[in-house]
Amino acid sequence: MSRSVLVTGGNRGIGLAIAQSFAEAGDKVAITSRNGEVPEELAKYGVLAVRADITDTEQVDAAFTEIEAAHGPVEVLVANAGITKDTLLLRMSEDEFTSVLDTNLTGTFRVVKRAAAKMLRARKGRVVLISSVVGLSGSAGQVNYAASKAGLVGFARSLARELGSRGITVNVVAPGFVDTDMTAVLSEERRKEIVSGVPLNRYAAPAEIASAVRFLASDEAAYITGAVIPVDGGLGM
Ligand code: NAD
């Protein structure tokens, strides 16, 4: 059965791989991004791309109105959009801290709140949040990012308790290091250092994160809620 799926930040990286995997399975996929363009990889699937900055409640609301008009209420929400602004604590400005929280955590709140209202009415739905291994184990130079990603775990577990009796599951995928624009900024030396700490000895491909998300959104995962699934090559264990 074709479902209405929304992937935030679905124009590139992990979000793109997630959107592509739902589209390939025949779902009605919408993506939001800051530029509103349909990436080449998604063009053939008739994916709906909507411009929305998740730090702006009005833009989020307008995006949902457009998506609901085209695809019906969102049945599977993947809150993927996120940013990093890495630096050590004493060099970190308050803006570098709050803007990462505003995007990664409050941005997720804005999107999930809007989707959950319709899921509650339908008494079904799947919510998957993209956290990070860094939210579980911490990372020097990323107190803002780690706090936002750890926050998503508490958010998801609380919401799983709120929505469970209404047939809605809320789960978290916590990737390790994935080959995307976000990690392309790391030096070759840092990359080698990271890989040496990963039991599977390599970065993940974005499609490997998408597999876990697809599973959590599937009927096979109907009895899983409030779970945090690491997809990190063993890095965080
Ligand atoms: P990316 O930088 O390639 O993509 C991030 C996406 O988020 C982009 O589509 C961007 O447009 C969108 N985005 C950022 N700020 C936004 C805003 N204010 N409004 C709307 N959209 C916004 O990064 P990625 O590696 O694909 O990361 C995707 C998610 O996975 C992020 O939440 C990231 O924290 C998480 N993650 C990534 C890695 C990794 O190694 N790449 C590891 C763990 C978790």
Torsions phi, psi of 31, nearest 5? -125, 150
Residue 21 Cα, ligand 1 centroid: separation in angstroms? 17
CA distances from 200 to 11, 14, 195, 220, 235 (A): 28, 19, 8, 26, 8
Given the residues 45, 145, 203, 223, the one annotated as active site: 145
Q: How far is the CA of 82 from the centre of ligand 1 (A)?
A: 4
Helices assigned H by DSSP within the chain: 13-24, 40-43, 57-71, 94-101, 107-122, 133-137, 143-163, 181-184, 188-196, 206-216
**Residue 203 is among the residues annotated as catalytic for this protein:** no
Could you tell me which residues are beta bridge partners of residue 4?
28
Q: Which CB contacts under 8 angstroms, 24+ apart, belong to 151-156?
A: 151/101, 151/104, 151/105, 152/104, 152/105, 152/108, 153/228, 155/105, 155/108, 155/109, 155/112, 155/129, 156/127, 156/129, 156/131, 156/226, 156/228
Q: Which of 170, 180, 225, 184 lies closest to 206, judged by CA? A: 180
CA 85/CA 89 separation, integer angstroms: 11
Take residue 91 and report the two structure tokens written for it: 């060099």
Instruction: Judge whether 159 and 127 are in contact, CB under 8 Å.
Output: yes
pLDDT at residue 14, as a whole number: 98
Q: Which residues of 65-90 are buried (b: 16+ CB within 10 A; e: fewer)?
A: ebbbeebebbbbbbbbbbbbebeeee
Ligand 1 residue neighbourhood (C-beta within 6 Å): 9, 11-15, 33-34, 53-55, 80-83, 103, 107, 130, 132, 175, 177-178, 180-183
Q: Quote the CA–CA distance of 158 and 114 in Å, as a whole number.
A: 17
Q: Which stretches in the chain have pLDDT values below 70?
A: none
- Predicted local confidence at residue 1, as pLDDT: 79
Q: Which amino acid is at 61?
A: D
Helix 13-24 to helix 206-216 angle, to the nearest 10 degrees? 50
User: What's the CA gap between 177 and 194, in Å, rounded?
Assistant: 8
Residues whose CB is less than 8 angstroms from the CB of residue 151 and which lie 6 or more positions away in sequence, other chains included: 101, 104, 105, 135
Which residue carries 């998408």 as its tokens?
A: 210
